[in-house]
Amino acid sequence: MRSNLLYMKSTVFIQLLILLGLLNSCQIIDKPEEIPSFIYVDSFYFQSSTNQGSSSNKITDVWVYVDDNLAGMWELPATIPLHYKGSHKVSLYPGIKKNGASGFRVIYPFYTVHEANMELIQDSIIPVNPSIEYKSGLSIWVEDFEDPGIKLFNHSTSDTSMIVVSSPPYTDLIEGNAGAIFMDADNFSSEMRTNELNFNNFPKQLDIPAYIEFDYKCNHEFYIGLLHKDNSVPSYQSMPLVTFYPTDDDNGISQWNKTYVYIPDGTNFFPSATDFDLYIQALNPDAKDGIEIFIDNIKVIYNQ
């Protein structure tokens, strides 16, 4: 009887020791998280240089690296928690919506990065005003409709052309002039094409970037696409890249938008192509009246 009692006491004692050990290990594992440091980024300041066209941009996101380690991506404006304290290198990369799609958010490869050595302070918010520009060594083709004539040519199938409009009478243009397509019930097609030998150098690999930037507003859909040909097909073949839909607000008034179209989404399908160009097209199969499409600050950018 006495031995059984001693056995029971020793068993309880061992169980208590195990329980205490588990509690201590939980305390070690479940350490309270350190209070983060914060930075606040409202927007990026972007400035183009001479011969690089407008400074218009649509930077929607910031990609944050601390000491070259990815901390995350945030939609702007953003108060960003960083689990660091003390002096660190903070790198802010500008992000865009590739092809205008919210599901394809990427770092824009042609903008520089904003870097700074910062003293991060726990439970404090440090405002940062990142300033960026285009990287060096880029090929940048610009059509901003400010020079006499335009670099887009009317295709033979078109029954209406792009014209240059200015303010006045158009008071809501972004800056200076813009290109415009007006169609009514008598117009079925408008197609404008480039004729640039340099575009034959477009990259054909998906991982080598090339983009079309431009501002637009419209009350009718239009397309931007790729023209391609090779020695076996001497005439251009067309491939739509992106369709753009009306930019009307809740009051039915068209608003300006900006997009970044990824050219290799098309060129990668044609590795044997020797010639590339671009086209902008609007069709009116339903014979609508009052179609208005405005485009400005077109840029075609890729590495030289």
Phi-psi domain of 288 (left: phi exceeds 0; alpha: psi -120 through 50; beta: other) = beta
Of 145, 59, 104, the residue nearest 242 (C-alpha): 104
The upper half-sphere exposure of residue 242, i.e. CA atoms within 13 Å in the direction of its Cβ, equals 17
Helix H or strand E segment including 249: none
- Collapse the DSSP code of 123 into the 3-class scheme (helix H, G, I; strand E, B; otherwise coil) and give the result: coil
**Distance, CA of 180 to CA of 165 (rounded, Å):** 7
Of 300, 290, 288, the residue nearest 218 (C-alpha): 290
- Residue ranges of the chain that CATH labels 2.60.40: 37-132
Find out whether 48 and 32 touch, Cβ atoms under 8 Å.
no
- Residue ranges of the chain that CATH labels 2.60.120.260: 138-303
Find out whether 274 and 230 touch, Cβ atoms under 8 Å.
yes
Mean pLDDT, rounded, for 1-8: 46
The pTM (predicted TM-score) of the whole model is 0.87
**For 146-159, what is each residue's pLDDT tens digit?**
998 899 999 999 99
- ∠173-295-243 over CA atoms, to 5°? 135
Relative to beta strand 178-183, strand 291-303 is antiparallel
**Distance, CA of 299 to CA of 111 (rounded, Å):** 14
In the chain, the percentage of residues whose pLDDT exceeds 90 is 85
Number of Cβ within 10 Å of residue 290's Cβ equals 10
Q: Which CATH architecture has domain 138-303?
A: Sandwich (2.60)
Q: Is the pLDDT of residue 25 over 70?
A: no
Mean pLDDT, rounded, for 184-196: 97
**For 228-248, what is each residue's pLDDT tens digit?**
999 888 899 999 999 999 999
Mean pLDDT of the chain: 91
Query: pLDDT category, 29, cuts 50, 70, 90?
Result: low
Q: Which CATH architecture has domain 37-132?
A: Sandwich (2.60)
Q: Which residue has the tokens 């090779």?
A: 230
Tell me what pLDDT residue 6 has.
43
**Distance, CA of 21 to CA of 27 (rounded, Å):** 10
**For 207-233, what is each residue's pLDDT tens digit?**
999 999 999 999 999 999 999 999 888
